[in-house]
Homo-oligomer: A and B are copies of this chain.
């Protein structure tokens, strides 16, 4: 049996809601706040908190603009975020499957 060290699982990504956010962003090129909120099924406040944490880790980029008079924030994964997610999934599979 191999090493099961859970510290190998990136804690920034492992949180259920952040994992859900990243899983959406992996699948699309970019996503607006309301689209993420609908997909991840959470509140504005909760989503904002976790997006900020992902932004601080430089895992996502945020683009803020006005469409008409309405502010719109659009999010995308950075290269660093995508790489971190790939490593996370590899380690998760190792952990779960004992490889």
Contacts and interface: CB of A to CB of B under 8 A. Distances in A.
Given A9-B16, A14-B16, A16-B11, A95 B23 contact: yes
Interface residues of A, number: 27
A96 interface: yes
Interface string A16-53: 11011001101110000000000111100000000000
Q: Is the interface of A mostly helix, strand, loop or mixed?
A: helix
Copies in the complex: 2
A66 interface: no
Given A1-B28, A4-B24, A19-B95, 7 more contacts: A1-B24, A1-B39, A6-B17, A6-B19, A6-B40, A9-B19, A26-B98
